[in-house]
Chains A and B, each alone.
Chain A
């Protein structure tokens, strides 16, 4: 089945630790995105990538890093610099083009121990 796979589904982090969230897609989409969603709030864009080996900061990039070494993979690292990392993290992908919607993975819930 084609789709977007995020792992793990649940992740616990100790303070001061970096953690990496995985996102893989087999839809052959060029563009990939990372969002954060906090309770009762909308999605906020962390980073996005429109092509391999290139990515741009979104609205809340501080404390996060990404890489895009392969078209199908866009991992997100939550660093110790992110002071409030507890949230629901969503990865999405899309074809490039004006009217192309984004399709989401089923998310990773990150909590601080």
Chain B
């Protein structure tokens, strides 16, 4: 089983739609969680950290479910510019290293 698993997609949604991605992680000792966005042939960029109580940043909402070992990202009112690959990232305990999922591709269309 992969340490961090994501549905690769692609998720094709119309502009204005709400879309949600899930990500599961295998190590129950994982302590920190992040969502990154990666555009084609570019570097990953931090979208948001994921906190235990859930958190929101504008149209983006992240949730953590420790019991079921998954995190989610909800995007409301999708824009064309949201088209990208979304990477789920997990840190185990206090280790420096992060484990990256292979990403979920989102394509927002007119």
Contacts and interface: CB of A to CB of B under 8 A. Distances in A.
Nearest to B47: A101
B34 interface: yes
Contacts of B96: 31, 33, 48, 50, 94, 96
Interface string A71-85: 000000000000000
Contacts of B100: 35, 42-43
B43 A102 contact: no
Contacts of B49: 99, 101
B46 A101 contact: yes
Given A104-B44, A107-B43, A98 B103 contact: no
Contacts of A31: 96
A48 B91 CA distance: 14
Query: By CB atoms of chain A within 10 A, which of B46, B89, B98 has the most?
Result: B98
Interface residues of A, number: 24
B32 interface: yes
Contacts of B44: 43, 90, 104
A45 interface: yes
B1 interface: no
Given A48-B96, A96-B96, A42 B87 contact: yes
Contacts of A103: 46
A51 to B, nearest CB: 10
B102 interface: yes
Query: By CB atoms of chain A within 10 A, which of B4, B46, B49, B97 has the most?
Result: B97
Interface of B: 4, 31-32, 34, 41-46, 49, 87, 89, 91, 93-94, 96-98, 100-103
20 contacts: A40-B102, A41-B102, A42-B103, A43-B44, A43-B87, A48-B97, A90-B44, A94-B96, A98-B91, A98-B93, A98-B94, A101-B46, A101-B49, A101-B89, A102-B98, A104-B45, A105-B43, A106-B42, A106-B43, A107-B42
